[in-house]
């Protein structure tokens, strides 16, 4: 949600242009391809730059939602593991208690 907040904050063309360039720089792609993307930005008019900016904003929001979903799934797995561990502990306690009762 951090990146999408920054993108929505900057509506002016030069800020859009700068942010788009920085995001392209962060991409983990071949250097030649990255340079082609950066060079192509120089040929975009205001309308196309705005379209590209909106699409990029949408993609970032989707990525952030997916990250949040992944974190939620990991937390859910952790909770299930904790619950399973607690159940196992309770079984051991009951077995220990039954062993004590059997010895009495």
22-79 tens-digit pLDDT = 888 877 788 998 898 888 888 888 788 888 888 877 877 887 888 888 888 888 888 8
- The owner of tokens 């800020």 is 15
pLDDT at residue 4 in the model: 61
Q: How confident is the model at residue 103 (pLDDT cuts 50, 70, 90)?
A: low
- Asked if the model's pLDDT at residue 1 lies above 60, the reply is no
Q: Is the pTM of this model over 0.75?
A: no
């Amino acid at each position: 949600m951090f990146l999408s907040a920054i993108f929505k904050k900057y509506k002016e063309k030069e800020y859009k242009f700068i942010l788009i360039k920085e995001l392209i720089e962060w991409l983990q792609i071949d250097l030649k391809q990255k340079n082609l993307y950066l060079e192509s930005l120089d040929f975009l008019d205001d309308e196309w730059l705005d379209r590209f900016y909106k699409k990029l904003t949408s993609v970032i929001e989707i990525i952030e939602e997916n990250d949040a979903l992944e974190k939620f799934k990991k937390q859910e797995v952790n909770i299930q593991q904790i619950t399973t561990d607690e159940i196992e502990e309770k079984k051991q306690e009951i077995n220990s208690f039954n062993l004590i009762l059997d010895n009495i």
